[in-house]
C-alpha cells in the first residue's frame, strides 16, 4: 500500500474555473405523444378523479395519463371556444365560453346549456367559482362579475363600484373571501345583508401594479397576485385591512399563472417569458433551467397536482409536467464517488479525479483544486467542520477549507490501510471502514490530528474488507462487511454480528447502511435485498419493493426518515409510514442517472444529494400529503355492451349476465406503471392481475357478487390500496324463484284435489247409475214378466194358434225377439236409436195382435248415429198403453219423431176410466239415466189433449 | 295617472339637459301577468305601461299602475289583488329602471337581445334584477318584448295559507311595448 506522509500545500483555484455543469428540472411534455390539439389554450384543471382538463379555443380535452379525449361538447352551443373550466364540490363541471355562455355537467356526465332567466353574459367568461353557500361567481372580461344566488343572477359592475368591468381572474380564498382582479387593482366582493358590497384596492393601498392579471388563492391562507409589470405580491386581509407583501425584484414578464409547489416554492408563469420560481423561505426569485431545448415560454396555466407534480400548460409547448422534487445536475467532468455537506451547507463531492464543491450561495459545482487529483471514495465533515477525505489506496486526508490546510494521515497516525471506503464520526470519535479492517480514533481537538488504532472487538468481524459504516442514534457503530454480514460495536465495546435474516437467508456482503425515522437500521446486500432491523433480527419490508431487474446501489434516508434507494434506473422512495414505494425513474430516464455506491448526503434544508456517474441528483422531500397510488374509479359497467346505471341499480335479471367492468386508475407521474388487480367475489377464487382497463364476465349464474378492483403504480398490492367495488345480485330465472316454485306446487295440489273430487263425484254418480240401471232392469224384467202381459200375450197366442197358426209362429218369434232384446240391451248404457226402434216395433207388433189397428205407431224418419238409453222408448210406449183407452172408437196414436236434438214421443190423452196406479218410477228412472248421459234435460209437456215427452239424443261416439 | 306623470317629469328632469338628447318613449305598452297555481290560473293585464329609454346613457325607466290591471277571474279577485296583495293605495305602481348592459346602436334597424339591469319595484320592495328582453328597432320605433318572473316572497307579498293553492309563488310577467323616438330640445 502506498504511504503518503507530509503536509501538502494547497492551490486554491475556486471561482477561476468556468461553469462546468448545469442544474435543471426534468420536463416532460406529453403534448407530442397525445391527441391534445394545438391551439389557443385557456385553462387547466385537475378533476377529483385525477384527470386533467384542458380548455382551449377549439374545445376541452381530458387527459387521464393514458388517453387525451375530447370532452363531448358538440351541439351544446354553436361554439367550442372554452375560456373557463370549473369543478364544484359535487364534482360537477362547469364550462365557460368566450362568448359568455355557460354549460354544466348533469348526473350522466353530459353537458347541457345552463338555462337562466336572466340570460348569459355577453362577454368572455374568465373564471367561475362556487362559494361555501353554493353561490356561483362568474367573472367576465367586459361585464364585471356575476353572482348566481338563490335562483337569480346578479351583476357586480360599475354601479357597484367596479372601476373596470374587465375581470382577469376571480378566486375564493381559504377564508371564503371573493377576490376579483381587473385593470384597477383587486376587489373584494361580498353580500352584506342582501346588499352587494365591493371593496377596491389599488396601488394606493400598496399593490405593486394596478393591472392584476392573475390571482392564486394560497392553500394555506391569503391570495397571491400576479401583475402586468411588477411581478407577484402576497395579500392578506387582517382586521379588515389589506396587507400586501412584495417579494424580491421581479425579473420581468406579465404573470399569467401561479402555483405553489409543496410549501417551499411558488412557481410563476408569464405570458411570454417562461417560468420563474420564487423561493418562499429565501424570499427570492430564481430561474429554473430545464433540459428542454425550448422550454415553455408562453405560459397559460400552472397546476400543482394531487401526486405532487407540477403541470405547465403553455401555448408553445402544450402540456408539460415537472417532478419538482428532483433537480438534476449533469455534465460533471467525472464520476461522483462521495458526497458530504459541511456546516455552511456547502456541498462537497469526491470523485475519481479530485474534489469539487458548491458554495452555499448556490450555483454550479466547481473543482476544489488540490495539488494532486486524489481518487476520493469517502467524505466526512467532522464537528469542527473539517472535511475528511478517504481515498482509494492513497490514504486519508483532513482538509480545513477555511484555513486552506490539508493534512495527510497515514501510518504515523496509526492508520495501516490506504483504502478508506467509509468514514463516520461524532463528537466522541472517528470510525473508518477500510480494506484493512476497522480503525478508530478519539475525535481530535480543533486543529489536532487523530491517533488511530484497531479496536479489539472489531478483530473478530471475520474479514478486513469493510464497505460501509454508520453511527446510529444510540451510538452503536455499524459495519457492512464483504461476505461476513453486518456487525456493530456497542457502546460498551462488544461486537454483535448478523449473518442471517429472520427468514433464514444468509446476509453476506453489505453495501450500505442507513437508519429510518423510527430508528431502525436498514441494510442493502449484494443479493439485491433490503432488510431492516426490528425486534432483534433483520427482515424484509412487509410490502415487497419492486426493483425488478434493477440492482440496488445505495440507500439513504431523508429528514422525514423515509428510505431512499438508488438503483440502476434511478431513485425510489420508501415511505416508512405507508410502506409505499414510489419510483422516480421516469423523471431522469433521459438524463440516464446512474448512481454511485453510497454517494448520498442530506443538507440542512432536508434535500438529499445523490451522486452518479457525471451527475448529481438533488431530491427534495415534500411536506404535504400526496397521493402515492393511482386514483381509481369505476368508469362504466355494461351489460351486453349497454351501459348500466350502476350507481342506482344493483339487482340484475337472470339474462343480464354478460358484464364488462371498465375502470380507470389515474397515476399521472408514471401512467405506464399502473397495474390493476380485480376479483369478482362469488365467482373468482383469487385476484386477477392485469394491465387492462376492463374485466369481462359472461354467462354468470344467478347469485350475489361483488366486483372489487384495486390499482397500483408499483405492481405491489396489499390490502391498503384504494379499492373500488360494485356489489350486485343476478336474480335466478323465473322457474327457479321461490315464489314461482311455491305457486306451482300449490297449483298442482289444487288441481290434484280438484281431479280427485271430480273423480269421486263421477264414481258416486256411476254407482248411482248402476243402481238405477239395476233397478231399471229389475223394473223392466218385472214389467215384462208382468203376469198380465204374459197372460195377455198367451191369450193372444192361443187365439192365434187356432185361427192363424202361421201368425202364431211369427208372434212367438217376435215375442222371443223382444225378450232377447231386453236381455241383450239391459247391460248397456245406450243403444243405437235404430236398435231401440226395432225393439219398439217388435213390441208394437205384439201389441197390435191385441189392439188390432187401434193402436197406431207413427215413426218419422229418424237420424242416424244417435243413441238413447236402452228400452227407454219401449217404456214410454208401455206407459202410453198403460194409461190410455185403446178401442175402435178411441184408437190411440203414438207419434215418434225428432225435434232438434230430442226424440219426441207423443200421444193424445185418453184416460182410462179406472185409473191405473202410477208408480212414477218409469219417468224418474229415465231422468236419472239421462243425468249421466247428457247435459240436456228430459222434457215433459202435458196439456188436456196431448202427452208429450222429449228425450235427448246422445251423439254416437263411434260415428263422430 | 298623476303619479305616472310625476315619474315622467322626474325622469325627464333628472337627465341633464343637453341639446338634441335622444330619448324614446312608449307609444303603447302592455303588461300581462300569469299566476299558474295548482287550483287556479289567474291572468290579468294592463295597457298602461309607460316608459322612456335614453339611448345615449343606455338607461331606461318603466312604470305601470297597479290599479290599471284588469282581466281577473272575478271582480272580487281584482279587489283582493289591489287591496290585499299589492296594496295599490300604498304602492300605486310598479317600476323597473336601470341600465342596459349591452351597447346597442339604435340607429341601425334590427333585432337585439339585451339584458336590462335595474331595480324592480313591486309592492314597494326594490329588487335588483337582470331582465332579458328582445328589442326590434325599425326606423323610428323600438318594439320591446320581455318575459320574466317575480317571486312573491322577494317583494313581501304574503298569501294567506287558505288561498295559497290558488296563487302561484312565482308570477310570470310578459311585457310588450313600442317606443318612438322623441328628441328633446
| A window 193-222, beta carbon within 8 A of B | 196
Question: Is the CB of residue A143 less than 8 Å away from at least one CB of chain B?
Answer: yes
Q: Break chain B into its structural domains and give their ranges.
A: 2-10+25-181
- Give me the pLDDT at residue A785, please: 53
> Across the interface, do B132 and A159 touch by the CB < 8 Å criterion?
no
CB contact under 8 A, B129 and A143: no
CB-based contact B115 A119, cutoff 8 Å: yes
Q: Distance between CA A327 and CA B68 in Å, rounded?
A: 78
Place of cell 379525449: A69
Lowest mean pLDDT across A165-174, A203-212, A620-629, A716-725: A716-725
Closest CA of chain A from B131, distance in Å: 5
A165 touches chain B (CB under 8 A): no
CB distance A297 to A272 below 8 Å: yes
Tell me whether A154 touches chain B (CB under 8 Å).
yes
**In this structure, what DSSP letter does residue B101 have?**
S
Most confident of A51-65, A349-363, A779-793: A51-65
CA-based nearest residue to A938, from A923, A922, A920: A923
**pLDDT tens-digit profile of A662-710?**
999 999 988 888 999 999 999 999 999 999 999 999 988 999 999 999 9
Contact criterion met (CB below 8 Å) for A591 and A29: no
List CB contacts (< 8 A) between B130 and chain A.
118-119, 153-155
Instruction: Please tell me the distance in Å from A261's CA to the nearest CA on chain B.
Output: 41
Kindly determine whether residue A159 and residue B115, on different chains, have CB atoms separated by under 8 Å.
no
Nearest one of A680, A724, A953 to A50, comparing CA atoms: A724
Subunit contact A143:B101, Cβ cutoff 8 A: yes
pLDDT tens digits for range A700-741: 899 999 999 999 888 888 777 788 999 999 988 888 788 889
Q: Which helix (H) or strand (E) holds B76?
A: helix B75-80
- Output the nine-digit C-alpha cell for A59: 374545445
Q: How many CB atoms lie within 10 A of CB A150?
A: 11
Averaging pLDDT over each range in A13-27, A918-932, B132-146, which range is the top one? Answer: B132-146
Q: How many CB atoms lie within 10 A of CB A908?
A: 15
Work out the minimum CA distance from B127 to partner chain A, whole angstroms: 10
Number of neighbours of residue B55 by Cβ within 10 angstroms: 18
Closest CA to A579 of A530, A512, A623: A530
pLDDT above 70 (res B18): no
B79: distance to nearest CA of chain A, Å? 31
Q: What is the DSSP letter of A507?
A: P
Is A9 a residue whose pLDDT tops 50?
Answer: no
When CB atoms are compared, the residue of A118, A159, A196 closest to B130 is A118
Contacts of B113 in chain A (CB under 8 A): 119
Asked if B101 lies within 8 A of A159 by C-beta distance, the reply is no
Architecture of the B2-10+25-181 domain: Beta Barrel (2.40)
- Residue (of A517, A522, A544, A525) closest to A533 by Cα position: A522
Say what the pLDDT of residue A1 is.
36
> What is the predicted pLDDT for the residue at A784?
54
Give A290's DSSP letter: B
Query: What's the rounded mean pLDDT across residues B143-163?
Result: 88
The answer to whether residue A624 neighbours chain B at the CB level (below 8 Å) is: no
- Cβ-count burial B16-54 (b if 16+ within 10 Å, e if not): eeeeebebbbbeebbbbbebebeeeebebbbebbbbbbb
Q: Look at B102 and A118 and tell me if their CB atoms are within 8 Å.
A: no
Residues from chain B contacting residue A157 (CB–CB below 8 Å): 101, 117
Cell numbers that stand for A26 in this block: 426534468
Nearest chain A alpha carbon to B99: A159
The angle, 0 to 180 degrees and rounded to 10, between the axes of the packed helices A833-851 and A805-825 is 140
Closest partner CB to B130 (pick from A153, A159, A196): A153
Q: Report, as an integer, the average pLDDT of A578-596.
A: 72
Q: Residue A33 pLDDT more than 70? A: no
Contact A119 B130 (CB under 8 A): yes
User: Cβ–Cβ contacts within 10 Å for residue A778, how many?
Assistant: 11
Cβ contact, residue pair B132, A118, below 8 Å: yes
**Contacts with B105 (C-beta within 8 Å, 6 or more apart), sequence order:** none
Query: pLDDT tier at A387 (50, 70, 90 boundaries)?
Result: very high
Mark yes or no for CB contact A118/B149 under 8 Å: no
- What is the pLDDT at residue A544? 66
Does the pLDDT of residue A909 top 90, yes or no?
no
Q: Residue A797 — φ and ψ, nearest 5°?
A: -60, -45
pLDDT, tens only, A188-211: 999 998 889 999 999 999 999 999
Q: Do the Cβ atoms of A155 and B117 come within 8 Å? A: yes
Sort A159 into a burial class: Cβ within 10 Å, 0-12 / 13-18 / 19+.
Answer: middle
Distance CA A585, CA A565 (A): 11
Cβ(A679)–Cβ(A686) under 8 Å? yes
CB-nearest partner of A117 from B99, B128, B148: B148
How does pLDDT run across A360-386, given as a tens digit for each residue? 777 778 888 887 788 999 999 998 999
Nearest to A620 by CA among A135, A263, A118, A935: A263
C-alpha closest to that of A617 among A582, A571, A573, A579: A571
In this complex, the residue of B99, B113, B149 whose CB is nearest that of residue A117 is B149
Residue B70 CB contacts under 8 Å (≥ 6 apart), including other chains: B44, B45, B46, B78
Which residues on B lie below 8 Å from A162 (Cβ)?
Answer: none
A142 Cα to chain B: minimum distance (Å): 10
Closest CA of chain B from A123, distance in Å: 10
Residues 113-132 of A with CB under 8 A from B: 117-119, 122
Q: Over 80: is that where the pLDDT of A568 sits?
A: no
Residue B20 has pLDDT above 70, yes or no: no
Facing residue for B115 by CB, picked from A118, A151, A196? A118
Confidence of residue A17 (pLDDT cuts 50, 70, 90): very low
- Buried/exposed A735-762: b ≥16 CB within 10 Å, e otherwise: eeeeeeeeeeeeeeeeeeeeeeeeeeee
CA A390 remoteness from chain centre? 56
Residues B24/B181, Cβ–Cβ less than 8 Å: yes
Q: What is the reported pLDDT for B184?
A: 55
Q: Taking the mean position of all CA atoms in its chain, how far away is CA A291?
A: 38
pLDDT band at B51; cut points 50, 70, 90:
very high
Dump pLDDT digits (tens) for A471-529. 998 889 999 999 899 999 988 888 999 999 988 889 989 989 999 988 899 998 888 78
Cβ atoms of A869 and A930 within 8 Å: the answer is: yes
Angstroms from B169 CA to nearest CA on chain A: 14
Which residue in chain A has the smallest CA separation from B128?
A154
* 3-class state of residue A198 by DSSP: strand
CB contact under 8 A, B115 and A117: no
* Closest to A816 (Cα-Cα) out of A779, A841, A842: A842
DSSP reduced 3-state for A205: helix
Contact A644, A282 (CB under 8 A): no
Q: What tens digit of pLDDT does each residue of A841-867 get?
A: 888 888 887 787 888 888 888 888 888
Best CA proximity match to A598, nearest among A532, A497, A524: A524
Which of B128, B148, B151 shows the shortest C-beta gap to A154?
A: B128
* Cβ proximity of A146 and A157 under 8 Å: no
**pLDDT tens by residue, A633-643:** 888 899 888 88
**E strand residue ranges, A435-585:** 437-442, 466-471, 477-481, 486-489, 495-498, 510-515, 521-525, 530-534, 537-539, 552-557, 563-567, 570-574, 581-583
Tell me how far apart the alpha carbons of residues A706 and A695 are, in angstroms, rounded to a whole number: 13
- Kindly list the residues from chain A whose CB atom is less than 8 angstroms away from the CB atom of residue B149: 117
The CA distance from A864 to A653, in Å, is 61
Mutate to test the interface with B, among A99, A147, A152 (most CBs of B within 10 A): A152
Alpha carbon distance A388, A469 (integer Å): 15
ipTM passes above 0.90:
no
* CA pseudo-torsion sign B9, B15, B20, B22: negative
Residue among A376, A505, A390, A402 nearest A439 (CA): A390
Q: Residue A100: its chain B contacts at CB < 8 A?
A: none
Residues whose CB is less than 8 angstroms from the CB of residue A744 and which lie 6 or more positions away in sequence, other chains included: none
Contact residues on chain B for A152, CB-CB shorter than 8 A: 129
Q: Taking CB atoms and an 8 Å cutoff, what residues of chain B touch A122?
A: 101-102, 115
Give residue A635's pLDDT: 86
Average pLDDT of the segment spanning A875-901: 84
How far, in whole angstroms, is CA A795 from its chain's centroid?
A: 113
* A217-221, A518-522, A898-902, B25-29: segment of lowest average pLDDT: A898-902
Q: Does A417 touch chain B (CB under 8 A)?
A: no
Is the CB of B149 less than 8 angstroms away from the CB of A155? no
Chain A residues in contact with B115 (beta carbon < 8 A)? 118-119, 122
Residue A7 has pLDDT above 50, yes or no: no
Under a CB-based contact definition with an 8 Å cutoff, are residues A83 and A99 in contact?
Answer: no
Is some CB atom of chain B closer than 8 A to the CB atom of A153?
A: yes
Q: Which of A44-53, A546-555, A725-734 has the highest mean pLDDT?
A: A44-53
A157 vs B: CB within 8 A:
yes
Beta carbons of B132 and A154 less than 8 Å apart:
no
For residue A211, the distance in angstroms to the closest alpha carbon of chain B comes to 23
Digit-coded pLDDT (tens) for A61-86: 999 888 888 999 998 999 999 999 99
> So what's the pLDDT on residue A920?
64
- C-alpha closest to that of B182 among B32, B5, B8, B7: B8
* Closest residue by Cα to residue A270 from A235, A314, A327: A314
pLDDT of residue A35: 67
Percent of chain A's residues with pLDDT above 70: 92
- Residue A603, chain B, CB below 8 Å: the answer is no
- How many Å lie between the alpha carbon of B148 and the closest alpha carbon of chain A? 7
Structure confidence by residue, pLDDT tens digits, A209-247: 999 999 999 998 999 999 998 999 999 999 889 999 888
Cα distances (Å, whole numbers) of residue A250 to A181, A247, A306, B179: 20, 8, 29, 56
Q: Confidence class of residue A463 from pLDDT cuts 50, 70 and 90?
A: confident
Q: Which residues of B touch A (CB under 8 A)?
A: 99, 101-102, 113, 115, 117, 128-132, 147-149, 151
Cell numbers describing residue A18: 468556468
The candidate with the shortest Cα–Cα distance to A362, out of A599, A592, A605, is A605
Amino acid at each position: 500500500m502506498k504511504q503518503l506522509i507530509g503536509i501538502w500545500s494547497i492551490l486554491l483555484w475556486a471561482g477561476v474555473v468556468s461553469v462546468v455543469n448545469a442544474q435543471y428540472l426534468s420536463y416532460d411534455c406529453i403534448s407530442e405523444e397525445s391527441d391534445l390539439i394545438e391551439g389557443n389554450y385557456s385553462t387547466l384543471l385537475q378533476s377529483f378523479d385525477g384527470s386533467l382538463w384542458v380548455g382551449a379555443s377549439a374545445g376541452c380535452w381530458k387527459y387521464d395519463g393514458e388517453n387525451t379525449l375530447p370532452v363531448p361538447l358538440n351541439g351544446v352551443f354553436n361554439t367550442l371556444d372554452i375560456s373557463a373550466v370549473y369543478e364544484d364540490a359535487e364534482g360537477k363541471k362547469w364550462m365557460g365560453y368566450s362568448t359568455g355562455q355557460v354549460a354544466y355537467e348533469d348526473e350522466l356526465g353530459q353537458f347541457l346549456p345552463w338555462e337562466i332567466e336572466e340570460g348569459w353574459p355577453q362577454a368572455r367568461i374568465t373564471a367561475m367559482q362556487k362559494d361555501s353557500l353554493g353561490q356561483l361567481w362568474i367573472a367576465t372580461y367586459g361585464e364585471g362579475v356575476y353572482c348566481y344566488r338563490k335562483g337569480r343572477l346578479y351583476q357586480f359592475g360599475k354601479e357597484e363600484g367596479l372601476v373596470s368591468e374587465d375581470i382577469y381572474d376571480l378566486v375564493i380564498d381559504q377564508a371564503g373571501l371573493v377576490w376579483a382582479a381587473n385593470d384597477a387593482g383587486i376587489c373584494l366582493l361580498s353580500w352584506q345583508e342582501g346588499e352587494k358590497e365591493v371593496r377596491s384596492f389599488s396601488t394606493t393601498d400598496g399593490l405593486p401594479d394596478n393591472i392584476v392579471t392573475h390571482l392564486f388563492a394560497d392553500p394555506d391562507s391569503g391570495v397571491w397576485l400576479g401583475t402586468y409589470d411588477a411581478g407577484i405580491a402576497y395579500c392578506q386581509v387582517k382586521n379588515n385591512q389589506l396587507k400586501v407583501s412584495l417579494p424580491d425584484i421581479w425579473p420581468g414578464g406579465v404573470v399569467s399563472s401561479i402555483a405553489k409547489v409543496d410549501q417551499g416554492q411558488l412557481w410563476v408563469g408569464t405570458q411570454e417569458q417562461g417560468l420563474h420560481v420564487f423561493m418562499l423561505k429565501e424570499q427570492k426569485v430564481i430561474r429554473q433551467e430545464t433540459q428542454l431545448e425550448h422550454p415553455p415560454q408562453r405560459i397559460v396555466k400552472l397546476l400543482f397536482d394531487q401526486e405532487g407534480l407540477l403541470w405547465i400548460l403553455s401555448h408553445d409547448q402544450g402540456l408539460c409536467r415537472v417532478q419538482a422534487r428532483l433537480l438534476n445536475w449533469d455534465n460533471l467532468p467525472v464520476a461522483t464517488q462521495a458526497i458530504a455537506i459541511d456546516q455552511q451547507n456547502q456541498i462537497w463531492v469526491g470523485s475519481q479525479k479530485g474534489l469539487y464543491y458548491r458554495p452555499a450561495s448556490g450555483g454550479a459545482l466547481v473543482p476544489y483544486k488540490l495539488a494532486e487529483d486524489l481518487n476520493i471514495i469517502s467524505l466526512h465533515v467532522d464537528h469542527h467542520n473539517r472535511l475528511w477525505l478517504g481515498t482509494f489506496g492513497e490514504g486519508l486526508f483532513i482538509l480545513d477549507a477555511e484555513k486552506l490546510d490539508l493534512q495527510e494521515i497515514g501510518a504515523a497516525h496509526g492508520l495501516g490501510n490506504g483504502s478508506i471506503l467509509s468514514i463516520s464520526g461524532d463528537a466522541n470519535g472517528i470510525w473508518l471502514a477500510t480494506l484493512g479492517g476497522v480503525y478508530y480514533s478519539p475525535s481530535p481537538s480543533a486543529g489536532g490530528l487523530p491517533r488511530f488504532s484497531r479496536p479489539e472487538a472489531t478483530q473478530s468481524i471475520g474479514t478486513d474488507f469493510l464497505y460501509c459504516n454508520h453511527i446510529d442514534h444510540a451510538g452503536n457503530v455499524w459495519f457492512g462487511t464483504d461476505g461476513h454480514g453486518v456487525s456493530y460495536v456497542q457502546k460498551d465495546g462488544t461486537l454483535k454480528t448478523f449473518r442471517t435474516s429472520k427468514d433464514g437467508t444468509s446476509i453476506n456482503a453489505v453495501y450500505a447502511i442507513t437508519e429510518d425515522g423510527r430508528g431502525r437500521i436498514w441494510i442493502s446486500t449484494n443479493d439485491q435485498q433490503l432488510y431492516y432491523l426490528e425486534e432483534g433480527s433483520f427482515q424484509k419490508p412487509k410490502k415487497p419493493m419492486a426493483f425488478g431487474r434493477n440492482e440496488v446501489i445505495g440507500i439513504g434516508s431523508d429528514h422525514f426518515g423515509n428510505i431512499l434507494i438508488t438503483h440502476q434506473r434511478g431513485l425510489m422512495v420508501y415511505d416508512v409510514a405507508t410502506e409505499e414505494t414510489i419510483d422516480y425513474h421516469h423523471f431522469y430516464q433521459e438524463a440516464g442517472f446512474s448512481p454511485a455506491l453510497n454517494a448520498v448526503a442530506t443538507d440542512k434544508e432536508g434535500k438529499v444529494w445523490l451522486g452518479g456517474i457525471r451527475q448529481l441528483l438533488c431530491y427534495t422531500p415534500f411536506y404535504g400529503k400526496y397521493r402515492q397510488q393511482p386514483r381509481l374509479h369505476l368508469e362504466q359497467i355494461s351489460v351486453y355492451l349497454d351501459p348500466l346505471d350502476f350507481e342506482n341499480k344493483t339487482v340484475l335479471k337472470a339474462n343480464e349476465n354478460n358484464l364488462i367492468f371498465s375502470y380507470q386508475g389515474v397515476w399521472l407521474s408514471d401512467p405506464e406503471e399502473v397495474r390493476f388487480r380485480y376479483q369478482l367475489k362469488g365467482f373468482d377464487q383469487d385476484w386477477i392481475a392485469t394491465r387492462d382497463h376492463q374485466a369481462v364476465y359472461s354467462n354468470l349464474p344467478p347469485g350475489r357478487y361483488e366486483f372489487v378492483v384495486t390499482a397500483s403504480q408499483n405492481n405491489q398490492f396489499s390490502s391498503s390500496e384504494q379499492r373500488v367495488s360494485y356489489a350486485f345480485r343476478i336474480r335466478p330465472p323465473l322457474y327457479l324463484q321461490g315464489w314461482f316454485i311455491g305457486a306451482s306446487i300449490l297449483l298442482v295440489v289444487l288441481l290434484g284435489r280438484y281431479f280427485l273430487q271430480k273423480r269421486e263425484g263421477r264414481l258416486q254418480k256411476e254407482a248411482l247409475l248402476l243402481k238405477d240401471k239395476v233397478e231399471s232392469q229389475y223394473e223392466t224384467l218385472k214389467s215384462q214378466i208382468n203376469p198380465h202381459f204374459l197372460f195377455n200375450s198367451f191369450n193372444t197366442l192361443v187365439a192365434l194358434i187356432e185361427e192363424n197358426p202361421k201368425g202364431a209362429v211369427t208372434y212367438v218369434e217376435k215375442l222371443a225377439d223382444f225378450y232377447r232384446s231386453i236381455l241383450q240391451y239391459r247391460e248397456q248404457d245406450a243403444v243405437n236409436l235404430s236398435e231401440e226402434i226395432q225393439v219398439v216395433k217388435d213390441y208394437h207388433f205384439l201389441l197390435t195382435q191385441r189392439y188390432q189397428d187401434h193402436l197406431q205407431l207413427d215413426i218419422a224418419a229418424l237420424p242416424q248415429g244417435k243413441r238413447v238409453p236402452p228400452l227407454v222408448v219401449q217404456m214410454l210406449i208401455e206407459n202410453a198403453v198403460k194409461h190410455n183407452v185403446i178401442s175402435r172408437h178411441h184408437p190411440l196414436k203414438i207419434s215418434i219423431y225428432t225435434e232438434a236434438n230430442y226424440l219426441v214421443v207423443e200421444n193424445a190423452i185418453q184416460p182410462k176410466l179406472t185409473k191405473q196406479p202410477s208408480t212414477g218410477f218409469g219417468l224418474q228412472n229415465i231422468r236419472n239415466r239421462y243425468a249421466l248421459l247428457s247435459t240436456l234435460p228430459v222434457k215433459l209437456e202435458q196439456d188436456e189433449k196431448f202427452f208429450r215427452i222429449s228425450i235427448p239424443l246422445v251423439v254416437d261416439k263411434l260415428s263422430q | 295617472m298623476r303619479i305616472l306623470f310625476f315619474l315622467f317629469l322626474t325622469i325627464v328632469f333628472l337627465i341633464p339637459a343637453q341639446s338634441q338628447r335622444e330619448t324614446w318613449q312608449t307609444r303603447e305598452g302592455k303588461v300581462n301577468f300569469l299566476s299558474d297555481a295548482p287550483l287556479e290560473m289567474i291572468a290579468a293585464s294592463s295597457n298602461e305601461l309607460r316608459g322612456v329609454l335614453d339611448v345615449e346613457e343606455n338607461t331606461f325607466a318603466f312604470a305601470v299602475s297597479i290599479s290599471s290591471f284588469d282581466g281577473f277571474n272575478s271582480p272580487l279577485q281584482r279587489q283582493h289583488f289591489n287591496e290585499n296583495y299589492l296594496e295599490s293605495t300604498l304602492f300605486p305602481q310598479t317600476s323597473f329602471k336601470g341600465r342596459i348592459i349591452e351597447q346597442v346602436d339604435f340607429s341601425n334597424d334590427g333585432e337585439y337581445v339585451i339584458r336590462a339591469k335595474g331595480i324592480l319595484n313591486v309592492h314597494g320592495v326594490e329588487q335588483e334584477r337582470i331582465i332579458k328582453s328582445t328589442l326590434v328597432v325599425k326606423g323610428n320605433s323600438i318594439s320591446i318584448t320581455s318575459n320574466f318572473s317575480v317571486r312573491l316572497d322577494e317583494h313581501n307579498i304574503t298569501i294567506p295559507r287558505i288561498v295559497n293553492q290558488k296563487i302561484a309563488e312565482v308570477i310570470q310577467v310578459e311585457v310588450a311595448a313600442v317606443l318612438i323616438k322623441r328628441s328633446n330640445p
